[in-house]
């Protein structure tokens, strides 16, 4: 079974996100668009007061709590990482403003939730990390009430365009290694029987993030000459300081402007009328 | 009646005017607020605005006490950024179509939401003329934030103000709503009384962690007596101590007035540099709008007076060149400086690299030939911006990038957050200095519930504040009756 491999992959991903480098390069918001895009998804999914929402691979629950408050709905977050779930629960307790959000430690690809009981299911930048995307989307669709909506945001890369320098942890941090093309996500949705599939290009948020990463890398290069080996180790991690990382980011920027790399939103509706 | 005929033997010699005609612009009449033509002139190295209202005659007021500084700053004017959407159409012309109209020259770097008009003080000086009026609902504020996100895409800063926002029972939920919408940085503009007295409120703020834009006018009791109508010094010091204990970052905001606290600017700065809660100071010459003490428009504090005050009162720690105009708004509106503080050592960023090489866009069309010059310019633009918030990760990152070549800084962003100190000097316009040219590029806007974002100085001087207040107060009264 792949559980272990996947858990390791996800744990590795989480470690990366918490590293100083990731924070410096990506800033506070780890996903392109941050909560601005979460709110956009919420509006597109038509979230309403009192509705039930499931958030698959919810991390530390930032989006789940924000959605619960902004749309005044009830959100169940599913997350594989035990520590993240504990952190999410603690954050709800510590929050100044309460939110109707609850967190369960479970595999988001097989969520232990009641079928046909959710008005919306959300998966932000997580489908690309799932090993079996078809199973994950089918499971998400199963949770929806008839008329309920699945909403995702994710990295899009057209097949064959992943630069080989990114077939590593940096690529993982940028969520490009497991990403699909524009049609790939739409096919996943229709394959799971979802209808009225709507897609929206949010690639400007990737462009914004790349500008930020470039400025961060420029800073690293300014400092690199002054550091002794050990410090270099902690800052660059497994990235080689001799590689032209700014050049790589510029290559990614070119892919974005050519439309081969981007960040997209998809909404699909489960057929049937609720009630 | 005097005989107008001159004796024939007088010599006819042409006289020079006693001023340099600098520019022609538009302004408003300080009495009736109608839009009128205006001239900006330079006399004895000082800048004045002179104008005539057909109904109320001539007016003149000082704009800057150092003409060289004023004229030199103009090169720091960078191209504006166009917002994603506008809320009004061009109809009557600037400044009567606010906000923003498609002719505006800049997006909003910093948005203000005045959540109420009520206050727990009754200061003799208050540009917002706080008192009886309205109190926004959470739903109204959420709608304003949504519109702000729509027009900006990536809104940078929202500042909750009033009135006194901390007495609004829904302020914490409003701050949370801004955070939940992904707005980069949230600030609360407050007199600090509630932070000094209310444990539960302090705890709520500590959890939400907005930057506290803290009114702090000086270190003398008489200063508070004059500006705030009561001695608030002990309350102010207690509030700061409690903010430090709760881990809240504060920016000291002082209203500067001649013969009141202009001689305290150095002391305020030195105090801020040492205080564990303080990440910056904002020194604002008193704006003579709303409530103010009687003033002479020819004798008011301007940006150079504050800079000279700092230089003279900090015993050589700062020099004039440490203060650099801000390019995102019109560069005569604000100057900033940044310092890296480590114990007793205070290093202003402008000593580490020549900021003008990057931010004087008109003199220096080409960037300096150093590696990553474009990224350094970008980082400096972030710091020299109305949206730069001391204490935020973003500002720390920009400082790190900008000062890279000259200062061997430790890497941690957290470390920088606690060691970077911002000094901002901001001169708002009043009815005597109101210059349409500056308002057209203003990047600080007041959000109102109908979705408009009205440039701050237009909001205060042209009559928008009064209109919005009357309308919201009327609506609220109506809702109450139904």
Say if residue B89's pLDDT is above 90: yes
Contact status of A232 with chain B (Cβ, < 8 Å)? no
Residue among A36, A215, A226 whose CB faces B408 most closely: A226
**Contact flag A235-B408 (C-beta cutoff 8 Å):** no
In B426-463, which residue ranges form alpha helices assigned H by DSSP?
436-439, 456-461
| Token reading at B95 | 């400044």
Helix pair angle (B393-402, B373-383), 10° resolution: 140
Say if residue B460's pLDDT is above 50: yes
Which pLDDT score is estimated for A237? 43
Tell me what percent of the residues of chain A surpass a pLDDT of 70: 75
- Report the distance separating Cα B182 and Cα B146, nearest Å: 11
| Token reading at B286 | 């008193």
Residue B481: count other Cβ atoms within 10 Å of its Cβ: 6
Nearest-neighbour CA in chain B from A192: distance (Å)? 31
What residues in A contact B405, CB-CB < 8 Å?
222
Tell me what the pLDDT averaged over chain B comes to: 88
Residue among B181, B372, B404 whose CB faces A36 most closely: B181
Which pLDDT score is estimated for A44? 95
What residues in B contact A246, CB-CB < 8 Å?
372
CA angle A148, A151, A155 (to 5 degrees): 165
What pTM was estimated for this model as a whole?
A: 0.87
Chain A: residue nearest B375 by CA? A215
What ipTM was estimated for this complex?
A: 0.82
Stated length of chain B: 482
Q: Could you tell me which residues of chain B have a Cβ less than 8 Å from any Cβ in chain A? A: 142, 146, 149, 153-154, 172-173, 175-177, 179-182, 204-205, 207-208, 371-372, 375-376, 378-379, 393-394, 397, 400-401, 404-405, 408, 411-413
- Report the distance separating Cα A87 and Cα A103, nearest Å: 10
Chain B: residue nearest A31 by CA? B182
Tell me what the pLDDT averaged over chain A comes to: 82
The pLDDT confidence band at residue B382, using thresholds 50, 70 and 90, is confident
Instruction: Tell me the per-residue pLDDT of B163-177, one tens digit each, with 9 for 90 and over.
Output: 999 999 999 999 999
What residues in A contact B401, CB-CB < 8 Å?
215-216, 218-219, 222
Nearest-neighbour CA in chain B from A233: distance (Å)? 13
Instruction: Tell me the per-residue pLDDT of A93-114, one tens digit each, with 9 for 90 and over.
Output: 999 999 999 999 999 888 999 9
Please spell the DSSP secondary structure of B59-102, one letter per residue.
EEEEEES-HHHHHHHGGG-PPP---S--SS--SS-TTSS-SS-T
**Contact flag B208-A34 (C-beta cutoff 8 Å):** no
Edge-first strand order for the sheet with A144-157 is: A101-105, A74-79, A52-56, A118-124, A144-157, A261-269, A195-201
Residue among B176, B375, B376 whose CB faces A214 most closely: B375
Helix (H) or strand (E) holding A53: strand A52-56
Contact status of A255 with chain B (Cβ, < 8 Å)? no
Which pLDDT score is estimated for A274? 55
Which pLDDT score is estimated for A129? 83
What residues in A contact B157, CB-CB < 8 Å?
none
The pLDDT confidence band at residue B357, using thresholds 50, 70 and 90, is confident
B419 SS3 class: helix
Instruction: Tell me the per-residue pLDDT of B123-148, one tens digit each, with 9 for 90 and over.
Output: 888 888 888 899 999 999 999 999 99
């Amino acid at each position: 079974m792949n559980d272990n491999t996947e858990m390791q992959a996800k744990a590795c991903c989480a470690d990366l996100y918490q590293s100083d480098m990731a924070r410096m390069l990506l800033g506070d918001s780890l996903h392109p668009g941050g909560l601005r895009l979460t709110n956009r998804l919420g509006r597109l999914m038509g979230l309403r007061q009192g509705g039930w929402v499931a958030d698959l691979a919810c991390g530390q629950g930032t989006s789940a709590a924000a959605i619960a408050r902004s749309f005044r709905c009830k959100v169940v977050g599913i997350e594989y990482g035990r520590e993240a779930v504990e952190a999410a629960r603690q954050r709800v307790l510590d929050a100044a403003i309460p939110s109707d959000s609850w967190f369960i430690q479970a595999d988001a690809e097989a969520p232990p939730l009641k079928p046909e009981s959710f008005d919306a299911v959300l998966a932000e930048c997580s489908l690309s990390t799932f090993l079996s995307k078809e199973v994950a989307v089918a499971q998400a669709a199963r949770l929806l009430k008839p008329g309920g909506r699945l909403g995702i945001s994710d990295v899009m890369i057209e097949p064959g365009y992943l630069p080989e320098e990114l077939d590593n942890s940096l690529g993982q941090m940028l969520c490009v290694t497991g990403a699909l093309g524009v049609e790939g996500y739409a096919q996943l949705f229709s394959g799971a029987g979802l209808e009225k599939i709507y897609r929206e290009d949010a690639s400007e948020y990737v462009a914004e993030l790349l500008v930020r990463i470039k400025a961060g890398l420029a800073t690293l290069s300014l400092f690199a000459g002054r550091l002794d080996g050990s410090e270099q180790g902690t800052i660059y991690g497994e990235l080689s300081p001799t590689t032209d990382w700014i050049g790589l980011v510029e290559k990614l920027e070119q892919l974005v402007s050519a439309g081969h790399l981007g960040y997209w939103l998809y909404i699909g509706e489960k057929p049937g009328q609720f009630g | 009646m005097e005989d107008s005929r001159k004796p024939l033997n007088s010599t006819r010699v042409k006289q020079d005017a006693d001023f340099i005609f600098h520019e022609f612009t538009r302004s408003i009449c300080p009495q009736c607020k109608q839009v009128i033509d205006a001239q900006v002139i330079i006399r004895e190295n000082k800048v004045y605005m002179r104008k005539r209202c057909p109904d109320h005659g001539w007016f003149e007021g000082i704009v800057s006490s150092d003409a060289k500084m004023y004229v030199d700053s103009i090169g720091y004017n960078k191209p504006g950024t166009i917002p994603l959407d506008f809320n009004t159409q061009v109809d009557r012309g600037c400044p009567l179509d606010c906000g923003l109209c498609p002719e505006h020259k800049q997006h909003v770097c910093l948005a203000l939401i005045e959540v109420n008009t009520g206050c727990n003080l009754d200061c003799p000086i208050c540009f917002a003329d706080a008192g009886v009026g309205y109190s926004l609902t959470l739903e109204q504020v959420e709608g304003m934030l949504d519109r702000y996100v729509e027009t900006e895409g990536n809104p940078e800063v929202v500042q909750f103000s009033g009135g006194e926002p901390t007495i609004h029972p829904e302020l914490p939920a409003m701050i949370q709503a801004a955070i939940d919408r992904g707005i980069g940085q949230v600030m609360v503009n407050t007199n600090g009384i509630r932070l000094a007295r209310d444990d539960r409120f302090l705890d709520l703020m500590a959890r939400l962690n907005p930057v506290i834009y803290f009114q702090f006018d000086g270190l003398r009791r008489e200063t508070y007596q004059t500006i705030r109508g009561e001695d608030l010094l002990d309350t102010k010091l207690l509030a700061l101590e409690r903010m430090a204990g709760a881990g809240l970052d504060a920016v000291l905001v002082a209203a500067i007035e001649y013969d009141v606290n202009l001689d305290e600017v150095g002391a305020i700065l030195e105090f801020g540099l040492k205080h564990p809660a303080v990440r910056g100071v904002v020194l604002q010459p008193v704006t003579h709008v709303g409530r103010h003490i009687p003033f002479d428009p020819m004798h008011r504090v301007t940006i150079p007076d504050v800079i000279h005050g700092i230089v003279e009162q900090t015993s050589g720690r700062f020099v004039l060149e440490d203060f650099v105009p801000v390019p995102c708004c019109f560069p005569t509106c604000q100057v900033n400086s940044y310092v890296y503080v480590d114990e007793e050592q205070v290093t202003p960023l402008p000593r580490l690299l020549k900021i003008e090489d990057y931010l004087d866009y008109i003199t220096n069309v080409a960037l300096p030939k150093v590696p990553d010059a474009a990224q350094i310019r970008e980082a400096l633009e972030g710091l020299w911006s109305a949206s730069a918030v001391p204490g935020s990760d973003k500002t720390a990152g920009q400082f790190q990038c900008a000062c890279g070549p000259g200062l061997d800084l430790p890497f941690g962003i957290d470390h920088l957050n606690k060691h970077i100190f911002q000094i901002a000097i901001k001169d708002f316009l009043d009815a005597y200095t109101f210059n349409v040219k500056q308002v057209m590029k203003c990047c600080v806007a007041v959000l109102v519930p109908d979705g408009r974002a009205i440039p701050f100085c237009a909001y205060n001087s042209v009559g928008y504040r009064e209109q919005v207040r009357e309308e919201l107060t009327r609506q609220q009264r109506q809702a109450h009756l139904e």
